[in-house]
Amino acid sequence: MRDVAIIGTGMTKFGSLGRVTSRELVTSAALEAMEDAGVASSDIDAVYIGQLSGDIFEHQMHAAPGIPDYLGLPNVPSTRVEAACASGGLSVMHAIMAVAGGFYDTVLAAGAEKMTNLPTTHVTEALSMCADDVFEVSLGVTFPGAFAMMARAHEKEYGTTAEMRAAVAVKNHDHALLNPKAQFHKKITIEKVVNSLMIADPLTLYDCSPITDGAAAVIVVPWEDRKKYDGIAVKVRSFAQASDTMSLHDRKDLTGFTTTKIAAQKAFERAGLEPKDIDILEVHDCFTIAEIMALEDMGFYKKGEGGRAALDGETRRDGSLPVNVSGGLKAKGHPIGATGVAQIAEITNQLRGTAGRRQVPDVEIGMTQNLGGSGSTIVCHILERGD
């Protein structure tokens, strides 16, 4: 197995982007990543694209070949990866495995979603198809409803309060103010979060990530080839994936995800690292409770202490463990297929020292956690600053 480097990143603005296709969004992000890396189109050996549902959102199946088509990459193999909200993270993981295994030398991994074409009710219905249709969706369970049950369970077991969840939203909105490509540039308060519109009790409007358009891309090459290109290289230390039951009722505990525990543990073991070695994190905060549970399940906090950490400011950009400095899904936005790629792009840029006003000083090792469905799929990556 070869060591692997990420040498280029690209990302569109996230938000409601009007009359544009996901294919055009990926093209924009990919060209930015290729320019950043100093990679020519003729260098690209393969493409992996994370996308949830071009068929529902854009009436377009078989989306993968459209990417090399628009990029002018004739006959380059292109593969779509779908794992609900973890589609993007898995597209990068497959690109890394392809390069590590020697199948390809220069791979474009990207993710995109064009979601705002549909009304909110239709988007909610489309997203619910990532849960168990037999036992949950058919009975009216949506993702806000599923994560509301988790929030209640966490509240009952550990005393996690609405103010603790709100602190996650406030922090991530503050971080997004420093990210020009984030969907929201709006400062909020704990009071505003707690008193906003109830979506699924106890989760309010500001506990939930938005509907978003956008794309992100990274360029992956063998570590030994990194100096052939212009891009500042970041080393892939490890990655891991885990799967769980589709239905929540088949799980023993609703206060966290076994998948996150397993994927994080495997990633740490493969990297020869521990949670204390990680300097910066991007985790999947589709709902505020999800960020709290992720940090506990990954081993950064004991169960029940993640909410207090947010309230005490430990996970802020200037705290002891910076989390979601990009703004997270909550404020940067959540275009499903792009999310996991955007997480990796953010950690890459932080480790390179190229994150602009939101740069965290002296970071050496970063980690991502990308979640699919109600935790049925988790993928984690650990990256390290290069030479």
Band of pLDDT at residue 126, cut at 50, 70 and 90:
confident
Instruction: Judge whether residue 53 has pLDDT over 90.
Output: no
The domain made up of 131-208+236-385 is a member of CATH 3.40.47.10: yes
Q: For position 267, what pLDDT does the model report?
A: 98
Question: What ranges do the domains of the chain cover?
Answer: 4-119+212-234, 131-208+236-385
Structure tokens at 239: 């990655």
Q: How far is CA 167 from CA 14, 197, 217, 275, 291, in A?
A: 23, 17, 30, 22, 11
pLDDT computed for residue 137 by the predictor: 80
Residues of the chain by 3-state class (helix, strand, coil), percent to 5: 40, 20, 40
Cα dihedral 46, 50, 52, 57 sign:
negative
- The CA distance from 210 to 166, in Å, is 15
In the Cβ-directed half-sphere of 316, how many Cα atoms lie within 13 Å? 13
For 3-20, the pLDDT digits (tens) are 999 999 999 999 999 999
The alpha carbon of residue 304 and the mean position of all alpha carbons in its chain are separated, in whole angstroms, by 23
Q: What's the pLDDT score for residue 136? A: 84
Calculate helix-pair angle for 143-158, 288-297, nearest 10 degrees.
60
d(CA 170, CA 155): 19
Q: What is the percentage of the chain residues whose pLDDT exceeds 90?
A: 88
- Residue 387 above 90 pLDDT? no
- The per-residue pLDDT for 138 is 79
pLDDT at 302: 97
Residue type, position 331, single letter: A
pLDDT of 131 > 90? The answer is no
Of the residues 85, 130, 286, 380, only one is catalytic, namely 85
Amino acid making up residue 305? E
**Mean pLDDT (the chain, rounded):** 96
Q: Do domains 4-119+212-234 and 131-208+236-385 have the same CATH topology?
A: yes
Question: If you average pLDDT over residues 69-88, what whole number do you get?
Answer: 95
Res. 52: pLDDT tops 90: yes
* pLDDT over 90 at 386, yes or no: no
Alpha-carbon span 130 to 82, nearest angstrom: 10
Question: Residue range 250-256: average pLDDT?
Answer: 94
Place of tokens 């990680």: 278
**Helix crossing, 336-352 with 22-37: angle to 10°?**
20
* Active site (annotated) includes residue 334: yes
Within 298-371, residue ranges assigned H as helices are 306-311, 328-331, 336-352
Q: What pLDDT does 141 receive? A: 84
Q: What is the pLDDT of residue 54?
A: 86
Contact 283, 324 (CB under 8 A): yes
Q: What is the pTM of this model?
A: 0.97
Q: Pairing relation of β-strands 365-372 and 280-283?
A: parallel
Contact 145, 200 (CB under 8 A): yes
Average pLDDT over residues 320-324: 98
130 vs 381: CA distance, rounded Å: 22
Residue 2 pLDDT: 96
- The architecture in CATH of the region 4-119+212-234 reads 3-Layer(aba) Sandwich (3.40)
> CA-CA distance, 364 to 352, in Å (whole number)?
9
The one catalytic residue among 284, 334, 380, 381: 334
pLDDT tens digits, 181-201: 999 999 999 999 999 999 999
Distance CA 101, CA 340 (A): 22
CB 199 within 8 A of CB 144: yes
| 144: phi then psi, degrees, rounded to nearest 5 | -55, -40
Q: How far apart are CA 214 and CA 12, in angstroms?
A: 6
For residue 104, give both structure tokens.
């390809």
Q: What is the DSSP string of 2-14?
A: --EEEEEEEEPPP
Give dist(CA 142, CA 102) in Å, integer: 41
Q: How confident is the model at residue 121 (pLDDT cuts 50, 70, 90)?
A: confident
* pLDDT band, residue 356 (cuts 50/70/90): very high
Beta bridge partner(s), residue 113: 214
DSSP strand pairing (107-114 vs 213-222) = antiparallel
Residue 73 dihedral angles phi and psi, to the nearest 5°: -115, 75
Q: Which residue(s) pair with 242 in the sheet?
A: 378
Task: Check whether 351 has a pLDDT greater than 90.
Answer: yes
Say which residue the tokens 């690109």 belong to: 95
Per residue in 159-172, pLDDT (tens digit) is 999 999 999 999 99
Name the residue among 313, 287, 298, 323 with its Cα closest to residue 379: 298
pLDDT at residue 127, as a whole number? 86
User: Residue 51 has what pLDDT?
Assistant: 95
